[in-house]
A = this chain, B = another copy of it.
Amino acid sequence: MTSEAPEGYSGRRAAEIAGITYRQLDYWARTGLVGPSLTQASGSGSRRRYSYRDLLELRAVKSLLDAGIRLELVRGVFEYLTQHLDEDVTRVNLVISGTSVMVRTGEEEIVDLIRHGQGVLNILPLAGVKEQVDARIVELYPEGRSAAETVPAARAAGN
């Protein structure tokens, strides 16, 4: 009872896996972009616990930022994404056109959007996001370890 293995990932590990700084993670949690869905922070000294799904979101945000997209737009996207991101992340593309967001599987629809669209299209293949997160988990916490933190990682990688 004294040493229950904590579920999920601590803030620092989540940041490490997502490839962002801890300060970014903190800022994003504080401003409501991506927070820890397992345990919220409740004052100094408390601990945030991030789920595997949170890791995917963090990494997706990171990808969008790397692509030169303003955080402001990312916020709008994630209000949508949080509600519509199902478990079949593997072969879905996230499409942002202006202020509207879509999740699309086929390329044909996207070609249509390119043909008829007036504005800019931002396309993020979520499959790549998952790959990157999984690879990073394996890289940082190789399977041989018996520490509690690797358990949810292993479960998630096989998801």
Contact = CB atoms under 8 A, between A and B. Distances in A.
A110 B114 contact: yes
Contact of A119 (B72, B93, B107, B128): B128
A147 interface: no
Interface residues of A, number: 31
A68 B70 contact: yes
Interface in A123-144: 123-125, 128, 131-132
A125 B121 CA distance: 9
Contacts of A64: 120
Contacts of A110: 111, 114
A47 B111 CA distance: 43
B128 A118 contact: yes
A85 interface: no
A121 B64 CA distance: 9
